[in-house]
Amino acid sequence: MSTAASEQRTGGSRLIWVPLAGFVLLFAIVAIGLWRPADRTVRSALVGKPMPGIALAPVVAGKPGIEAGRFAKGQARLVNIFASWCIPCAAEAPQLLRLKAMGVPIDAVAVKDTPAAVAAFLARYGDPYDAIGGDPDSAVQFALGSSGVPETFLVDGNGRIVEQHVGDIRAEEVDGLAAKVRGLR
Amino acid sequence: MAEAGLAALWFAAVLALLQLLLGALTIRWGGRADATPRRAASIAALAGSVRPVAVVQGLLSAVAMLCLIWVFATSDMTVKLVVENSQSAKPMMYKVAGAWGNHEGSMLLWVTILGLAGGAVALLERRLEERTLIATLAAQAAIALGFYAFLLVASNPFARIWPAPADGLGLNPLLQDPGLAFHPPTLYVGYVGLSVAFSFAVGALVTGDVGPAFARAMRPWVLGAWTFLTVGITAGSYWAYYELGWGGWWFWDPVENASLMPWLAATALLHSVTVLATRDGLRAWTVMLAVVAFSMSMIGTFLVRSGILTSVHAFAVDPTRGAFILALLAIYIGGALALFALRVGTVRQGTTFDLVSREGGLVLNNLLLSVILGIVLIGTLYPLVAAGFGVQLSIGAPFFDKAAGPIALILVAAMAVGPLVRWRRDDGQAVLARMTWPIAASAFTAAGLIALGGSMAILPLLALSLAAGLAVASIAPLWGRALRRTPLAIWGMVVAHLGVAVSLAGMAASSAWTQERLVAVGPGEPTRVGPFTVTLVGIAPVLGENWSGLEGQLRATRDEDVLILKPQQRFFANPPTTTNETSIRSFWDGQLYTVLGQPDGRGRWQVRLWWKPFVTLIWLGGALIAIGGALSLIGRVARDRRAAQRGGWA
Amino acid sequence: MRRAILAALALLAASGVSPLAADTPLPAQPLAYTQLADPAQEARAKALMETLRCLVCQGQSIADSDASMAGDMRALVRQRIAAGESPAAIRRWLISRYGDYVSYDPPLSGATWPLYLAPILLLLAGIWIARASFRKRRR
């Protein structure tokens, strides 16, 4: 830089503005990062792709687990990833019950949970599920590309994942979700 | 008390504004050749007032900081900041440290150090041309003014709360640690030192006075800043090592990178300023580096505070504050770089060098350090750029190791040769002859490792061999010198370069030979890790001043030595957090590192054990580097003093 | 008060209940916190874990995290390595689930080539700038 810089007096090159240009670029990058923070949610890379073939053992008595091939039987459904120890899951329960009442079929994956705790959770917050499979070691979560509880996957009748909903479903989102499921039939 | 602090802060801000205006007027009017004697006298009066104003401004900011420490020490729960970050049941040390363990307080500490540094420049600096000094102080005032505005407008540390609650919310338990209580202030001193170098550069650009005198005035500040940054990074690394509980000491985390980047720039600056002081070369480049070094510390502060990058160390994340820092950054750095582009043409060309010369070696040092700096900067910000295009990706150790690792090793090799090359011009053959012993040390180490170790990874092997060569080469400048008459600055260089060799050896040895045991054990079951046999004796509850916890008792034996280690799990109620307290024992040949994990539900406990050969050398090397910096600083300052007393030019 | 806390802690120690409220009641999987028996396999697993990003932490690899999900991912890596799968295949499998975010070692792709080109460009630019500082020896 030193002589390149001092040659400027005679040469009149514009290179001397390069550091400032570099700084302006840097400034732009961080300013954009600050004012328009990118979505930090880690989304599943499986959206738009077929549901992985999962088969899960039942968790609670009188409720089937998830058998292989369940998602390619022509009916669109929601798969709710939840856990009895997760507080937002309890907050989400009324919305799931409403979806169920609207005729949306919902299956569940209970993450790292015990049968007794799941049964108590369902007794307390209601049971909107057609089937509940247990995922004692997060293996299904990893297979689905899910990074927390609760999450809800929308799967179409051919077993393709259409959408991933990260976090609890809010009351105002219920109608839209139900409409999407109906639209897929 | 809080109001007194606030008042001091306001007065200091007003004085900073005054200092800036006085300085600017002096420079503007003083530049005219046609000044009448009366006019010249009034300009001299103006110029003479800048120094005292700077000193008083520094003192006032210190008063504000003392007021804040006072309200924290007395747990004054009518002050909002105390309520949010402290608690009456807490050791006194952490109450005091709590004053800067939060955003507002740390910013106040920043301006306090800045103000005191400005005052010190005003009091002590006598070598620089008066006009350049005034311009420097004006630039320093401009920086301080921005931070005063930031504090007073966007983050008042003295705001009261009504009604006052009975007790505070507490300090993050991770921060309740002696290492971390003093880690941020150390880094701030380093950052502020770089801001002084920046102000010198701006001052020199304004007056076009870039030369050896400017370099000598700036050098102690760069040395001091660099020493403190070294201490800060070394301490931060050790803190992460024992606190996070997985045995790692560097994670290439954005916040770590934010502290590494100013250090890299300061290291480059330290070497280029020597070229400027000794040989009057690298003029524009040195000015540029001074601007870059301070930019890096501002960008680092911004990245940490704005939370635009996810980090384990993120705290006080707030986009508004981020925006404020960003605006300051744009004004100072953008302004300085524009000034650089406009004014550097007035800086006369410095001397050029022969390729084989000490200067040539220092240019290589600057080149490689700058490239590493660029890699760290790009690697840190790249995920942000990608996110702007909707791509989520993560950049971590694999990228930095691959991209910066080889360059760092070349730099180490250059470090070994550089100090053995003469200034001005040297002969390649002669340099090679001087390198005989270092090369022999490297070859011997490599051969020994291959013979003994057998299957050793190539990178640690290379690093250990280079470290051995560098260790020998770094002492070589002392050969044939009368040790007692050797200048302290030379000692500083020797010790610092030796520190790099020691640290590198520690990194390579621990990465090559670490042994890890992650096991679930019941009482009485022995586990072997490295040369130790470790047995869990029992688990017992313990109580601390503001936490409760469980303590594992581990009995470790090696040959006849028996020692007891007590790793803990601590539960803090306020705010509710669990932390792991590692228990570490150091030996001459490594560290035994133990962590107590969770029970496995079947009556056993998870324990994590590591034997880390020579890992301590990493931080010992860091300490040596810092000691080298301090020796050099003392040597330079003492020499300048003597020269000033003799009345000659320093 | 002090005694009550001690008693509660002793109970905690005995029962092994995790102290955190909103966390799973199940104990961590064995392979989350214990190593594979085969040192060569464990070394491969460890090297891979150091380059996988914990999904729920703030920028840590799964090898350095106490989060329960990081533990599960460590167990998954160890199980698959023990079953004979290659580290590269496991990384690919995780990337097919989570995208490049999960890997600290981003693959060379349309989005990352500027990143990998940057060090080389920086070095060339540096040499070009430094070149100007040297006197021409022979003309």
**Residue C4: pLDDT above 70?**
no
Q: How confident is the model over B579-617, as pLDDT tens digits?
A: 889 999 999 999 999 999 888 878 889 999 999 999 999
Write out the residue range of the structural domain in which residue B577 sits: 515-614
Question: Do A85 and A155 belong together in one domain?
Answer: yes
DSSP assignments along C60-82, one per residue? -BGGG---HHHHHHHHHHHHHHH
With a CB-CB cutoff of 8 Å, which residues 529-558 of chain B face chain C?
539-541, 543, 548-550
Q: How confident is the model over B162-211, as pLDDT tens digits?
A: 888 877 777 666 667 776 678 888 988 999 999 999 999 999 998 888 88
pLDDT at B378: 95
B37 located within any domain: no
Q: Which of C20, C26, C29 to mutate to test the interface with A (most CBs of A within 10 A)?
A: C26
Nearest CA-CA partner of A57 in A168, A169, A165, A135: A135
- Contact flag B310-C58 (C-beta cutoff 8 Å): yes
**A31-45, B255-269, B275-289, C120-134: lowest mean pLDDT where?**
A31-45
pLDDT band at B34 (very low <50, low <70, confident <90, very high): low
Q: Which of C69, C95, C96 to mutate to test the interface with A (most CBs of A within 10 A)?
A: C69
- Contact flag B295-A19 (C-beta cutoff 8 Å): no
Q: Looking at the 3D structure of chain C, how many domains does it have?
A: 1
In angstroms, the separation between the Cα of residue C134 and the nearest Cα of chain A is: 9
More confident residue, B303 or B401: B401
Write out the residue range of the structural domain in which residue A149 sits: 70-183
Write out the residue range of the structural domain in which residue C73 sits: 27-106
Question: Do A14 and A99 belong together in one domain?
Answer: no
> Among all chains, which residue has been given the structure tokens 């070994």?
B416
Q: C105 touching A, CB under 8 A?
A: no
B532 located within any domain: yes
B42 located within any domain: no
- Contact flag B244-C61 (C-beta cutoff 8 Å): no
C19 located within any domain: no
Q: How confident is the model over A131-169, as pLDDT tens digits?
A: 999 998 889 999 999 988 899 999 998 899 999 999 999
pLDDT at A2: 41
A127 located within any domain: yes
Q: Which residues of B touch A45 (CB under 8 A)?
A: none
- Contact flag A20-B340 (C-beta cutoff 8 Å): yes
Q: Is the ipTM of this complex over 0.85?
A: yes
A64 located within any domain: no
With a CB-CB cutoff of 8 Å, which residues 351-380 of chain B face chain C?
352-355, 359-360, 363-364, 366-368, 370-371, 374-375, 378-379
- Average pLDDT over every residue of C22-42: 85
Q: A45 touching B, CB under 8 A?
A: no
C37 located within any domain: yes
CATH of the domain at C51: 1.10.8.640
Residue C134: burial class (beta carbons within 10 Å; 0-12, 13-18, 19+) = middle
Two tokens at B434?
């001087």
Q: Which residues of B touch A31 (CB under 8 A)?
A: 326
- Contact flag A40-B310 (C-beta cutoff 8 Å): yes
Mean pLDDT: which of B25-34, B97-106, B389-398 is highest? B389-398
Q: CA-to-CA distance for B35 and B22, rounded, in angstroms?
A: 17
Question: Do A81 and A168 belong together in one domain?
Answer: yes
B575 cis-preceded (ω within 30 degrees of 0): yes
CB B119 within 8 Å of CB B55: yes
A104 located within any domain: yes
C68 located within any domain: yes
Mapped onto helix, strand or coil, the DSSP state of residue B591 is strand
C122 located within any domain: no
Q: Looking at the 3D structure of chain B, how many domains does it have?
A: 1
**Residue B285: pLDDT above 50?**
yes
Q: Which of A41, A142, A144, A146 to mutate to test the interface with C (most CBs of C within 10 A)?
A: A142
Q: B310 touching C, CB under 8 A?
A: yes
C133 located within any domain: no
> Among all chains, which residue has been given the structure tokens 């799967």?
A155
DSSP assignments along B158-212, one per residue? T-B-SSPPSS-----GGG-SHHHHHHHHHHHHHHHHHHHHHHHHHHHHHHT--SH
pLDDT at C22: 59
Question: Do A97 and A20 belong together in one domain?
Answer: no
Q: Which residue of C has its CA nearest to A44?
A: C98
CATH of the domain at A149: 3.40.30.10
More confident residue, B315 or A31: A31
Q: Which residues of B touch C97 (CB under 8 A)?
A: none
A63 located within any domain: no
Question: Do A115 and A171 belong together in one domain?
Answer: yes
In angstroms, the separation between the Cα of residue A124 and the nearest Cα of chain C is: 17
Query: Which chains lie within 8 Å of chain C at 3 or more CB pairs, if any?
Result: A, B
B560 located within any domain: yes
Two tokens at C62?
């799964």
Q: CA-to-CA distance for B519 and B533, rounded, in angstroms?
A: 13
Confidence (pTM): 0.91
Helix/strand/coil (H/E/C) assignment for every residue in B3-66:
HHHHHHHHHHHHHHHHHHHHHHHHHHHHCCCCCCHHHHHHHHHHHHHHHHHHHHHHHHHHHHHH
Question: Do A163 and A77 belong together in one domain?
Answer: yes
The beta-carbon neighbor of C23 closest among A85, A142, A147 is A85
Nearest CA-CA partner of B540 in C7, C17, C13, C18: C13
Q: How confident is the model over B134-173, as pLDDT tens digits?
A: 999 999 999 999 999 999 988 888 988 888 887 777 766 6
Q: Which residue of B has its CA nearest to A36?
A: B388
C20 located within any domain: no
Question: Do A31 and A101 belong together in one domain?
Answer: no
C52 located within any domain: yes
B282 located within any domain: no
Q: How confident is the model over A93-124, as pLDDT tens digits?
A: 999 999 999 999 999 999 999 999 999 999 99
pLDDT at B370: 96
The beta-carbon neighbor of B352 closest among A3, A16, A17 is A3
- Average pLDDT over every residue of C39-60: 91
Question: Do A76 and A28 belong together in one domain?
Answer: no
Q: C98 touching A, CB under 8 A?
A: yes
- Contact flag A29-B381 (C-beta cutoff 8 Å): yes
Q: Which residues of A touch C70 (CB under 8 A)?
A: none
Nearest CA-CA partner of A68 in A6, A136, A4, A133: A133
Angle between helices A18-35 and B335-343 (to 10 degrees): 170
C31 located within any domain: yes
**Residue B124: pLDDT above 80?**
yes
Q: Which residue of A has its CA nearest to B337?
A: A20
Q: A139 touching C, CB under 8 A?
A: yes
pLDDT averaged over every residue in chain B: 89
Q: How confident is the model over B418-461, as pLDDT tens digits?
A: 999 999 888 989 999 999 999 999 999 999 999 887 678 888 99
Residue partners of B448: CB distance under 8 A and separation at least 6: none
Question: Do A20 and A109 belong together in one domain?
Answer: no
Question: Do A157 and A84 belong together in one domain?
Answer: yes
- Average pLDDT over every residue of A15-41: 85
